[in-house]
Amino acid sequence: MIEKATGQIVCIFFAYGKVHDFKLFKLSKMVFKPETLVGTDSGFQGIKEFHLNVMLPKKRTKKNPLSEEDKKRNRLIASKRLLNEHISGRIKRFRILAERYRNRRKRFDLRFSLIAGICNFEMST
């Protein structure tokens, strides 16, 4: 989770193996204040059961293509999520997410937390 105002990593959560992002969100049991606006990607369909104030892009189907208004809204949501993608790219420079992790699993959380701290330090300076 990234704070929009400062661009810093606020919270991280992991699970063993390959886990879908929305399932990981449910496992984390993260709670937001009702006034907090949460921006997600289309992989978080169903998040409105947990939090009502969500910016969720609309998905198209074969039978129901998106209208021009829906496309504009999706572009607006994507532009607001751009900071998240930049932070992910910054973390991938350390190669911990870009490649297979081959060290001890117990230390992954610690190492990732240290990398997040380094990224936060870079953002603050």
Query: pLDDT digit string (tens) for 88-108?
Result: 889 888 988 888 888 888 888
Specify the pLDDT at position 116.
Answer: 93
Q: How many domains does the chain have?
A: 1
**φ and ψ at residue 31, rounded to 5 degrees:** -120, 135
pLDDT band at 16 (very low <50, low <70, confident <90, very high): confident
Specify the pLDDT at position 98.
Answer: 80
pTM: 0.76
Percent of the chain with pLDDT over 90: 39
pLDDT of 71 higher than 90: yes
Does residue 6 fall inside a structural domain? Answer: no
Adjacent-strand bridge partners of 9: 2
Does residue 91 fall inside a structural domain? Answer: yes
Per the structure, the complete domain to which residue 77 belongs is given by: 21-124
